[in-house]
Amino acid sequence: MCFRMRPYAFEGHVLLDVQQVIPLPEAAAFQVAIREKNLVKAAVDAGGRDFTQYLVQTSQGEAVSNLPKRHFIYQVVKEAIRLGLKPQDIAGSVPWRENVMFISASGALNGDQLMNAVPGKDRRRYFCNDDEVFHLDGKTYAMSNQWGLRTEEAVKNILAALPPGHGISYEAMA
């Protein structure tokens, strides 16, 4: 850092005006932002939490942005189901999560009914609000919201299971 100092005489005293000149004060916020971004990246590289947010372009051309990983994969699964994939097919695309990706019960249930029908499951670990559950083939499904370092790999596998030209795309946001 570089400072400029100017002395001023005032009522028999010497006052010193100190101003930072390098780096410019306007650059401080920019430097802080870069430092924070590097800290987040270092935490991710060290196995910490990944706070990457995503933009998903749906097959209908709708852009859904600022999605944390769990909502990112949920949005892709929601689109895949809308395009005809079954939960079993989706789970099969993610073999390391295949047996824990969905819970289900027979009937057209709301979220509370589904969670009551599947004892021992913590509702905080599933997308189980009434507008988040999936109804297919006489069953109700809730998807796990517990995703880790392989979320993007899971999304790529799900998208690969869709027919060509499905129209879903995504990108990580800075």
What is the secondary structure of the chain as a DSSP string? Answer: -EEEEEEEEETTEEEEEEEEEES-TTHHHHHHHHHHHHHHHHHHHTT-----EEEEE-TTS-EEEEE-HHHHHHHHHHHHHHTT--HHHHHHTSTTTTTTSEEEEESS--HHHHHHHSTT--GGGEE-STTT-EEETTEEEEEE----TTHHHHHHHHHHHSPTT---EEEEE-
Q: How confident is the model at residue 5 (pLDDT cuts 50, 70, 90)?
A: confident
User: Per the structure block, which two tokens stand in for 138?
Assistant: 């006489």
> How much is the pLDDT for 43?
57
Query: Are residues 31 and 72 part of one domain?
Result: no
For residue 145, pLDDT beyond 70: yes
> How much is the pLDDT for 44?
58
Query: Are residues 151 and 65 part of one domain?
Result: yes
Span 11-21, average pLDDT: 87
Query: Are residues 74 and 16 part of one domain?
Result: no
Span 67-82, average pLDDT: 97
User: What's phi and psi for 19, nearest 5 deg?
Assistant: -130, 135
Domain that holds residue 90: 53-173
Least confident of 12-21, 51-60, 63-72, 129-138: 12-21
Of residues 41, 91, 37, 73, the one with CA closest to residue 170: 73
For residue 23, pLDDT beyond 90: no
* Separation CA 70–CA 95 (nearest Å): 17
Determine contact, residues 55/42, Cβ cutoff 8 Å: no
Query: Are residues 68 and 23 part of one domain?
Result: no
> How much is the pLDDT for 148?
86
For residue 164, pLDDT beyond 60: yes
Query: Are residues 70 and 30 part of one domain?
Result: no
> How much is the pLDDT for 126?
98
> How much is the pLDDT for 17?
87
Query: Are residues 127 and 145 part of one domain?
Result: yes
Query: Are residues 60 and 39 part of one domain?
Result: no
> How much is the pLDDT for 48?
60
Query: Are residues 137 and 68 part of one domain?
Result: yes
User: Per the structure block, which two tokens stand in for 62?
Assistant: 């709708």
